[in-house]
């Protein structure tokens, strides 16, 4: 029973460790997962292949693919796709890390 409890606790710690929080600033209205977000500062939570943007009560979730670069990014940058006059978030490079979030 103790072994099972230890394995469960180790698994729980792995799940909790997977969530990471960041801050990102959108300098102009941006579309994420079909939802338009106004310009401003957002809390960004990355949990495996899900990312959540939160500002006040507004929350938007999207699926992402996380890629690892060989070097750390110096600052957080947002790259956009602009096909229909709206800026759609295509990727976010997280400053201070070597992680890049690629949006589907």
In whole angstroms, give the CA distance from residue 17 to residue 15. 5
What's the pLDDT tens digit per position in 26-67? 999 999 999 999 999 999 999 989 999 999 999 999 999 999
Inter-residue contact 11 to 32 (CB < 8 Å): no
* Neighbouring C-beta atoms of residue 37, cutoff 10 Å: 18
Going by the DSSP 8-state scheme, the letter that residue 10 receives in this structure is H
pTM beyond 0.95: no
Domain ranges of the chain: 19-103
Tokens 């990014």 map to which residue? 73
* 3 state SS of 28: coil
Q: Which of 23, 46, 26 is nearest to 37 (CA)?
A: 26
Q: Could you report the per-residue pLDDT of 68-84, keeping only the tens digit for each? A: 999 999 999 999 999 78
Residue of 81, 45, 75 lying closest to 91 (CA atoms): 81
* Of 76, 68, 66, the residue nearest 96 (C-alpha): 76
């Amino acid at each position: 029973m103790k072994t099972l409890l230890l394995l469960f606790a180790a698994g729980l710690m792995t799940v909790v460790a997977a969530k990471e929080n960041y801050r990102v600033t959108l300098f102009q209205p941006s579309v994420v997962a079909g939802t338009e977000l106004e310009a401003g500062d957002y809390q960004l939570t990355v949990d495996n292949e899900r990312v959540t943007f939160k500002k006040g009560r507004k929350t938007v979730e999207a699926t992402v693919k996380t890629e690892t670069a060989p070097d750390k990014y110096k600052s957080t940058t947002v790259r956009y796709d602009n096909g229909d006059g709206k800026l759609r978030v295509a990727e976010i490079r997280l400053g201070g890390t070597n992680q890049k979030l690629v949006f589907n």
